[in-house]
Amino acid sequence: NAGVMQNPRHLVRRRGQEARLRCSPMKGHSHVYWYRQLPEEGLKFMVYLQKENIIDESGMPKERFSAEFPKEGPSILRIQQVVRGDSAAYFCASLRRLNEKLFFGSGTQLSVL
């Protein structure tokens, strides 16, 4: 049973470009969380999704950021017109049911030049 898969592992973008981060949850998991982590900081909640639905996006910036978790395929975190401040590690986590433990992927390190 493969773990949570995130790709790419590293992503380099120039200012103004788009970044797409992918997350395939563990088999049987229909809940996905996205987090952002800056160096020496904790993980900041961004968005929580269930299949085809955004349940809580209170931690996601209102502009340029969007997330989806389609019926088929991975969850996608999309950042449009990236700026240097978007440089961070982005982690996704999946879980089978609420209040169960989170399983994290290895993250995507986004660098904006």
Half-sphere exposure of 45 (CA within 13 A, CB side): 11
Cβ atoms of residues 52 and 71 within 8 Å? yes
Give the nearest distance from C-beta 40 to other proteins in angstroms: 8
SS3 78: strand
Of 63-102, which residues contact other proteins (CB under 8 A)? 89, 91, 93, 98-99, 101-102
Enter the tokens of residue 14.
């120039």
- Judged by CB under 8 A, the residue of 56, 61, 78, 113 near other proteins is 56
Give the nearest distance from C-beta 81 to other proteins in angstroms: 25
Give the nearest distance from C-beta 112 to other proteins in angstroms: 18
Give the nearest distance from C-beta 46 to other proteins in angstroms: 9
DSSP for residue 99 = T
Residue 7 binds other proteins, judged by CB under 8 A:
no
Residue 28 binds other proteins, judged by CB under 8 A:
no
SS3 25: coil
Cβ atoms of residues 30 and 55 within 8 Å? no
SS3 11: strand
**Residues of this chain that bind other proteins (CB under 8 A):** 4, 33, 35, 40-45, 48, 55-56, 58-59, 89, 91, 93, 98-99, 101-107, 109
